[in-house]
């Protein structure tokens, strides 16, 4: 059964599902914020600023994409996790960051 939006046009359930998936992916990216902000427990201040800036850029990118291309938002939380884990691991291995 097609859904009707505010102007009375019908939307396919698949379109609604893609927007729900995109919204969940954006919510997952926002939910990763404690990891980026808590990087200061191990990383120096300049690295925390860089991590938070990257996280904020990913959230803004997801917020821009979620309305027009909701499925493009799905890889963003995975990219955020890879960036954070990779950066923290590299900092610990090569720059001597310790808790």
| pLDDT at residue 4, rounded to an integer | 54
Radius of gyration for the chain, computed over Cα atoms and rounded to the nearest angstrom: 18
Spatial distance between the Cα atoms of 48 and 88, rounded to a whole number of angstroms: 10
Give residue 99's pLDDT. 85
pLDDT score for 32: 97
Predicted local distance difference test score (pLDDT) of residue 2: 54
Which stretches of the chain drop beneath a pLDDT of 50?
A: 1
Please tell me the predicted confidence (pLDDT) of residue 15: 85
């Amino acid at each position: 059964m097609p859904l009707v939006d505010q102007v009375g046009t019908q939307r396919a359930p698949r379109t609604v599902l893609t927007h729900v998936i995109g919204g969940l992916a954006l919510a997952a990216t926002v939910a990763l914020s404690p990891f980026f902000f808590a990087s200061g427990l191990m990383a120096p201040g300049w690295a925390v600023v860089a991590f938070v800036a990257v996280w904020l850029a990913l959230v803004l990118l997801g917020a821009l994409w979620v309305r027009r291309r909701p499925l493009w938002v799905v890889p963003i939380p995975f990219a955020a996790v890879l960036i954070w884990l990779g950066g923290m691991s590299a900092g610990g291995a090569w720059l001597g960051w310790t808790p």
